[in-house]
Amino acid sequence: MLLEVKNLMARYGAVMALKDISFDVGEGEIVAMIGPNGAGKSTALNAISGVLEATDGSIDSGQILFEGKNIRGLRTDELVAEGISLVPEGRRVFPTMTVLENLQMGAYKRNDKAAIQQDIESVLSLLPQLKERMKQKAGTLSTGEQQMLAMGRALMLKPKLLLADEPSLGLSPNYLELVFDKLVEINKNGTSILLVEQNASEALEIAHRGYVFSIGEIVLEDTGKNLLRDEKVKKSFLGGL
Ligand SMILES: Nc1ncnc2c1ncn2[C@@H]1O[C@H](COP(=O)(O)OP(=O)(O)OP(=O)(O)O)[C@@H](O)[C@H]1O
Ligand SMILES: [Mg+2]
């Protein structure tokens, strides 16, 4: 397994947010986490990416292993060095910097200019929407374009595992579809993806496997296909279709 999370418990102050959850992501997989608001999906992702403390949360117990190595408590830059990068909820591009500068920031750890340029080219071939906007300030991009940029910046780190928290949030149907298509393409290029999504049907359609969260617990896990057909999942998350 690429990522293994075992018996994770996390809290915000006195409030338990994750009650002993276990899940994993295999090499080459897209894994979706779905569930209602407040179920603990972002908490789980933030626990892995090391930003839980920054949101006043803390891990009580549990193991987080990446390629068999304990990564619990590592800083973001240490996680990047291991091969993990996060597309945070709400995108968070640097608004006053240009698209190009945002992408270059994605490679801030490195100083091999030629290689960085090459990586920018490959990000742009995946996300051509950004090409004409390289000199535009990121804050003036449309929501969908900012999402593309946030993904592009994360990809500049050449992650083995991409953590994405609601990448389709607030996007129009066209852009929403584009984001899911891009995630599939990124995955085909060799990056494993752990995806948190409110758009459960789209997420389960592209996911190899999925986990259903409810009030801090994982209540169901199966292949994306099976979850799409599951009566309880249909009723709760897929609009009863
Ligand atoms: N910084 C915080 N301080 C206190 N409680 C928090 C904090 N962040 C989250 N919580 C609580 O922890 C629980 C899990 O929240 P979390 O953000 O992980 O849910 P989620 O599944 O990502 O929901 P959503 O789909 O709405 O994004 C919720 O009850 C939430 O109110
Ligand atoms: Mg969330």
The full set of domain ranges for the chain reads 3-237
Torsion region of 166: left, alpha or beta (phi above 0 gives left; psi -120 to 50 gives alpha):
left
Distance of alpha carbon 84 from alpha carbon 157, whole angstroms:
8
Give the residues surrounding ligand 1 with Cβ less than 6 Å away: 12, 15, 17, 35, 37-43, 55-57, 198, 213
Nearest CA to ligand 1 atom 3: 12
Nearest CA to ligand 1 atom 24: 37
pLDDT at 229: 94
For residue 216, pLDDT beyond 60:
yes
CA-15 nearest atom, ligand 1: 5
pTM of the model: 0.94
CA-46 nearest atom, ligand 1: 18
**51: β partners:** none
Q: Quote the ligand 2 centre to 165 CA distance (angstroms).
A: 7
The mean pLDDT value for 84-94 works out to: 83
Mutation choice for ligand 1 from 33, 41, 46, 169, CB with most ligand atoms inside 8 A: 41
For residue 240, pLDDT beyond 60:
no
Domain at 3-237: CATH architecture: 3-Layer(aba) Sandwich (3.40)
Mapping DSSP to helix (H, G, I), strand (E, B) and coil, where does residue 162 land?
strand
Nearest CA to ligand 1 atom 26: 37
For residue 238, pLDDT beyond 80:
no
Q: Quote the ligand 1 centre to 215 CA distance (angstroms).
A: 10
Q: Quote the ligand 2 centre to 228 CA distance (angstroms).
A: 21
The mean pLDDT value for 215-229 works out to: 97
Q: What whole-number percentage of the chain has pLDDT above 90?
A: 72
Element (H, E) at 222: strand 217-223
Nearest CA to ligand 1 atom 29: 38
Distance of alpha carbon 4 from alpha carbon 140, whole angstroms:
39
Mutation choice for ligand 1 from 42, 86, 165, 168, CB with most ligand atoms inside 8 A: 42
For residue 241, pLDDT beyond 70:
no
27 Cβ contact partners less than 8 Å away, ≥ 6 residues apart: 1, 2, 192
Under the banding of pLDDT at 50, 70 and 90, the label for residue 170 is: confident
Of 82, 148, 81, the closest CA to residue 110 belongs to 81
CA-56 nearest atom, ligand 1: 1
pLDDT at 157: 87
The mean pLDDT value for 134-156 works out to: 92
